[in-house]
Each structure stands twice: as structure tokens, then as C-alpha cells.
DNA sequence: GCCGTTTTCGGCCCGACTGTTTTCAGTCG
């Protein structure tokens, strides 16, 4: 049984206990045990003794060991016998938690969605103490709505949040606002959107929002916050939290989370006999200190600033107490090495793309249009590619503060061969190789293709290594560990494709890439000028993975990069005299 | 159930909002 399955089983135990009405700390203990596993970078086989992990004690360790050995757990089996499994699903209904579900089960014999619906329709639910007419109606309503996905993918949520941001900007009573929650931490999936808003007049802002937004339902509305469900295809839930000038920084920190990070902060405060909340830090004498920035709050705890993406409740506070975190920062990105022009499937000309990159303050960029086999994207023939190189040189001559490199994004064909011969590739500054076809091949076929690409002396980078599309497509059967080893052996870099649709490689793998000593390029794969802005998302993902600037090719100066590109690759086979 | 430089018991993070209640429990984040 792998780690993911074990975590799922631990969470299931927690849900059962919640319905049983167990002590909430006991329930949390099972969740925390799962979290401890999730936060450990090792695989289950590499962890020799799970009880050594913080948050896993005797009982949870036993459950984990059982699951590892036999795939079953006595604790879980006992719970499954005792409690109908259909009740677990009911926890997802709004307004229902363990206690209320337990009551419905014990007093009305509710065991699943259908029996709950029947109980509501017979008006039995409103008779229970703690329930009433309104709760019954609300349960019935949510039962009859079709299920919306529990988690929505980042690209979709970015779109929605960008629209919301425009509306917030137009409301005069909004002094400033920021996204918060999972979106600000750049999670790949999230269940809702959070915004923190500074205003003197929350009620007015709520009114304006209700006027401007397509509302499906107002879930809650008060002085401090408003929660709405949008009338969009996925019924996105949005929280707006209102802050004053004084509480804004604390509010933002609190609602950016993660929940686990907040728990760590509160513990730290508690050690000093203080309390931290979304309103500031309360001292022993009851006075509250407020802060103007998140940095100031961390400083108050003797910590350096922790970027949102690193706030996952692991050991980030320990690190931050030792000094500044050695993480990459957006301002260190000096160029973008993967973009397309109208020569293949891009929206803008070479000159327009180059100017836009230069306007972003970059020192260089690399044009990498598609190769000849990718017909749908108007891939370039060898002749076109070499002609394009001349065009690039002409444009490049206009700049004295910016370098436009000539590159290509070359297909790795289904049979493992590359789309251009070496005598073409050797004329380019930078060759990217990637897979765009035959996604359903076996892992060994995919890896054969990857190996051929890595072993070519001119291929410097493997782009979007897994081929996934967030929320849409899983990608092909690449063995990432093996790919990292190949990259290491051949001196090939791996891409962090920063496009909001990809984020490929994911944070999960990037740490391993860095640990192996393999270089990373953070590229936007821009097909238009607007897409260049996704560099932020790429850097955020790198931060989540703990990537240092030195690991990233495009933090280097143009001169450093040039000299790197001119070095011979190792472990490659130069096709010469056969 | 987990944890401990206040260590084997008694804590465990804190506040908003709702619906049910006449002062608060449950849910949620």
C-alpha cells in the first residue's frame, strides 16, 4: 500500500470517529498522522520507523504498520462494522458535521443520502433538537443539487479570481485587497477562493459585491466576512474577509494559512504567553499589537519572511528563525528560455515577443518555436528554422541591453528519434526537447524517448517533462526518478514549465531535481505576450519546492548562460563517423 | 490520540456566523 492510500485510510478513520462523536482531538490526531506522512519527503519504504515522526504515536503507528503489511486495519474494520459507510459522504453537506450526522443516524436511522432525503421529506429532521425548519430545507436543497467537484484546478480558479479582482478594484470603499488562502499559496487544487479586503465600510462593500457578482447563493454575511457561491459552471465558493488598516497584515497572514502553519504560529505565541489571531498579537496584559506587514509579524517572532508557498506547517518556522530563507525570488529571474512566435503557433511576432521580454526587464530570452513534425502547431522545417535564425540575429542587433537567443522546441518522435539531425541542431543556441505525441505509450517506450533526447549532445532541456495539464490530463507514463538520473548523467536541465495550465514539473519533483544536482529552467512557454506573466506562478512553484536561485538556469547572467551553453555535455553520444 | 527544558496528566488555536435557542452548540475555516 502506498503513502497516498495510507493517508486516505487514516482520514477515513478520522471521519468515522467524528461521526461517532469522539473527542475532536482524537479525530485530529488521525488527520495529523496522515499529514505527518504527507509532509515527509520519503516514500513509505524509505521510512524505517513511522512512530519516530512527530504527530505519529503508538496507536497511529500501529494502524500504519498494519496497513503496510496487510492492507487492512483492525481499527478501521471495527469502525466499518459499527457505522454505515454512507454516512461519510454526508460530511460533505454544508452545515452537517460529525455530531449532527451522529444524531441523524441514532435518532432517525439515516445511513446515506437517500435515507436523509427521505427523512427531510417526511419532515422528521426538523423535530430533532438542534435542527429546525431551516436546516431541514437547506439539507434537502444541497442533496438535490448535483455534486460540484470538491477541488477545483488552479487555472480555472486563477481566471475566476482575476475577474473578482477587477470588480474589487472598481469598488471605491475598498482601500486595498489581496488574494489569500490556497490560491495565494499557489496550490494546484483548491476548494474555494479567499480575499482579504481593507475597508472602513464592510457593509457597503458587501452590498456592492452582491450587486456586481453573479451570485448563486449567499452562504453567510456579517460585519467581518461574507461567503458567497458564484453562479459559474463550478459554483465556486468565495470568502471575503474585511480588515481595517490596523488588522490588514494579520488578517492576510491568518487567511493565507495554511491552517497547519497558523497552528505553529499560535504555538510559538503561546510559548511567550501571547495569543495570535487575525487581529494581531495579544499580550499577557490584554493589549493587542498590530503590524503593517506580514514581515513585521514574522520579525516579531524572530523569523525571517516566509513566502506563502512555504507556509505548509512543516519546519518552515525553525528555518526562518535561523535567518533568511535561501529561496528563489521573482526579481532574480533574468530571462525566459521557452516561447513561441507567429512562425509556429504563437500569437505575436518574434520582434513583439522580444520587445515584451525586454520590457519585463529581462536580460535575455530564447525563441523556441515548434519543430517540423508538430503540424498542428505549424512546426518549422530545417530550412525555415535556419532562416528564422537569421531573422533573430537581425532583431537581436537592435538591442545592446538584451540578448535574443535562437532556439527550438523539438519533438521527441514516437519511435524515440529526434525531429532534426545534429547538423541542424548544432547551429542553434539552445535546444529544448519535448513530447507532444503518442501519450499513451508504455513507460518503457516513453523512457526510451526521454533517454534518446537526454543523450543527444545538443539537447539542453527537457520541457514539460510529464505532459500533464492541470485539472485536464494526467500526462504520459514518465518515470520521473529515472529521468532525473538521466538528466544528471548527461548534464541536461529539466523544465519547470510555468504556464498556469501545466506547472510541470510539479513542486513534488523539483526538490528531488535540485537534490540530484540537476539544473532547472523556469519558462513560461508563452504563446502570447500576456502569457509571460505566468513566470510568477513558476517562481511560486519553485518556492514551494524549496528551490534556490543557483539551481535555476535563468537566474544566471547572459554571459554565464552563454558559457554554460557552449560547454560540451557529458555522457552523450556525438553522431560522427558511422 | 499525541505530547513533554512546566514530561506520564492535562492540555491541545482561535474567532465568525448560523440556527437554534433564550445563552449557546455546532460548523467552518
- The string of pLDDT tens digits covering residues A153-177 is 999 999 999 999 999 999 999 999 9
Cis peptide leading into A526, omega within 30 of 0? no
- Reported pTM: 0.83
**pLDDT (tens digit per residue) in A142-151:** 888 766 667 8
Which residue is closest to B1 in terms of CA–C1' distance? A26
Q: How far apart are CA A378 and CA A374, in angstroms?
A: 6
Query: For position A47, what pLDDT does the model report?
Result: 86
Closest nucleotide to the alpha carbon of A267, via C1'? B13
Closest nucleotide to the alpha carbon of A262, via C1'? B13
Q: Specify the higher pLDDT residue, A260 or A363.
A: A363
Q: Please give the domain boundaries of chain A with CATH numbers for all domains.
A: 3-145 (1.10.150.110), 152-322 (3.30.460.10), 330-566 (3.20.20.140)
A278 touches strand B (CB under 7 A): yes
Burial of A548 (0-12, 13-18, 19+ CB in 10 A): middle
CA A322, A247, A331, A519 torsion-angle sign: positive
- Mean of the pLDDT values across residues A314-331? 91
A191 touches strand B (CB under 7 A): yes
Residue keyed to cell 460540484 = A148
Query: For position A94, what pLDDT does the model report?
Result: 78
A463: enclosing H helix or E strand: none
Residues 4-23 of A with CB under 7 A from strand B: 23
CA of A516 to C1' of B2 (A): 35
CA of A324 to C1' of B17 (A): 39
Centre a 10 Å sphere on the Cβ of residue A169 and count the other Cβ atoms it contains: 10
Residues 459-518 of A with CB under 7 A from strand B: none
Counting every residue written for chain A, the total comes to 578
CA of A445 to C1' of B23 (A): 69
> In sequence order, what E strands does A371-426 have?
403-411
Q: How far apart are CA A349 and CA A379, in angstroms?
A: 15
| Strand pairing report for A364-370 and A459-462 | unpaired
Q: How far apart are CA A426 and CA A410, in angstroms?
A: 13
Secondary structure class of A179 (helix, strand, coil): strand
Is the pLDDT assigned to residue A578 strictly greater than 50?
no
| Strand pairing report for A280-282 and A288-289 | antiparallel
Amino acid at each position: 500500500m502506498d503513502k497516498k492510500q495510507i493517508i486516505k485510510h487514516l482520514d477515513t478513520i478520522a471521519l468515522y470517529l467524528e461521526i461517532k462523536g469522539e473527542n475532536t482531538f482524537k479525530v485530529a490526531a488521525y488527520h495529523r498522522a496522515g499529514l505527518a506522512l504527507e509532509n515527509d519527503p520519503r516514500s513509505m519504504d524509505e521510512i524505517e520507523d513511522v512512530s519516530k515522526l512527530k504527530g505519529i504515536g503508538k496507536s497511529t503507528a500501529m494502524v500504519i504498520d498494519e496497513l503496510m503489511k496487510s492492507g487492512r486495519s483492525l481499527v478501521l474494520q471495527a469502525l466499518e462494522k459499527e457505522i454505515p459507510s454512507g454516512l461519510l459522504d454526508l460530511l460533505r453537506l454544508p452545515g452537517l458535521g460529525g455530531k449532527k450526522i451522529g444524531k441523524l443516524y441514532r435518532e432517525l436511522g439515516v445511513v446515506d443520502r437517500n435515507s436523509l432525503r427521505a427523512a427531510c421529506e417526511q419532515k422528521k429532521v426538523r423535530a430533532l433538537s438542534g435542527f429546525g425548519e431551516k436546516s431541514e430545507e437547506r439539507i434537502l436543497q444541497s442533496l438535490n443539487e448535483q455534486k460540484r467537484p470538491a477541488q477545483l484546478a488552479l487555472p480555472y480558479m486563477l481566471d475566476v479570481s482575476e475577474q473578482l479582482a477587477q470588480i474589487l478594484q472598481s469598488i471605491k470603499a475598498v482601500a486595498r485587497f489581496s488574494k489569500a488562502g490556497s490560491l495565494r499559496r499557489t496550490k494546484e487544487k483548491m476548494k474555494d477562493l479567499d480575499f482579504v479586503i481593507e475597508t472602513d465600510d464592510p457593509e457597503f462593500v458587501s452590498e456592492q459585491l452582491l450587486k456586481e457578482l453573479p451570485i448563486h447563493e449567499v452562504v453567510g454575511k456579517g460585519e467581518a466576512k461574507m461567503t458567497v457561491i458564484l453562479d459559474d459552471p463550478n459554483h465556486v465558493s468565495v470568502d471575503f474577509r474585511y480588515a481595517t488598516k490596523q488588522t490588514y497584515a494579520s488578517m492576510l497572514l491568518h487567511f493565507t494559512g495554511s491552517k497547519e502553519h497558523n497552528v505553529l504560529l499560535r504555538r510559538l505565541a503561546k510559548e511567550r504567553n501571547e495569543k495570535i489571531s487575525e487581529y494581531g498579537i495579544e499580550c499577557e496584559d490584554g493589549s493587542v499589537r498590530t503590524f503593517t506587514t506580514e514581515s513585521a509579524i514574522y520579525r516579531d517572532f524572530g523569523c525571517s519572511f516566509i513566502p506563502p508557498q512555504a507556509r505548509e506547517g512543516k519546519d518552515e518556522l525553525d528555518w526562518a528563525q535561523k535567518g533568511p530563507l535561501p529561496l528563489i525570488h521573482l526579481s532574480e529571474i533574468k530571462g525566459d528560455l521557452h516561447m513561441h512566435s507567429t512562425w509556429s503557433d504563437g500569437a505575436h511576432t518574434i520582434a513583439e515577443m522580444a520587445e515584451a521580454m525586454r520590457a519585463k526587464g529581462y536580460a535575455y530570452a530564447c525563441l523556441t518555436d515548434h519543430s517540423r513534425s508538430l503540424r498542428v502547431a505549424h512546426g518549422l522545417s530545417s530550412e525555415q528554422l535556419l532562416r528564422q535564425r537569421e531573422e533573430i540575429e537581425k532583431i537581436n542587433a537592435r538591442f545592446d541591453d538584451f540578448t535574443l537567443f535562437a532556439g527550438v522546441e523539438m519533438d521527441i518522435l514516437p519511435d524515440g528519434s529526434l525531429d532534426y539531425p545534429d547538423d541542424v541542431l548544432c547551429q542553434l543556441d539552445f535546444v529544448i526537447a519535448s513530447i507532444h505525441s503518442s501519450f499513451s505509450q508504455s513507460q518503457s517506450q516513453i523512457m526510451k524517448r526521454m533517454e534518446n533526447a537526454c543523450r543527444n549532445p545538443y539537447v539542453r532541456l527537457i520541457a514539460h517533462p510529464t505532459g500533464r495539464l492541470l485539472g485536464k490530463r494526467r500526462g504520459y507514463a514518465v518515470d520521473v526518478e529515472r529521468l532525473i538520473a538521466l538528466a544528471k548523467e548527461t548534464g541536461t536541465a529539466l523544465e519547470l514549465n510555468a504556464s498556469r495550465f501545466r506547472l510541470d514539473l510539479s513542486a513534488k519533483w523539483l526538490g528531488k531535481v535540485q537534490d540530484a544536482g540537476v539544473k532547472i529552467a523556469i519558462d513560461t512557454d508563452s504563446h502570447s505576450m500576456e502569457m509571460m506573466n505566468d513566470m510568477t506562478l513558476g517562481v511560486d512553484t519553485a518556492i514551494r519546492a524549496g528551490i534556490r536561485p543557483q539551481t535555476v538556469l535563468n537566474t544566471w547572467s547572459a554571459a554565464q548562460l552563454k558559457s554554460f551553453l557552449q560547454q560540451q555535455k557529458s555522457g552523450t553520444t556525438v553522431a560522427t563517423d558511422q
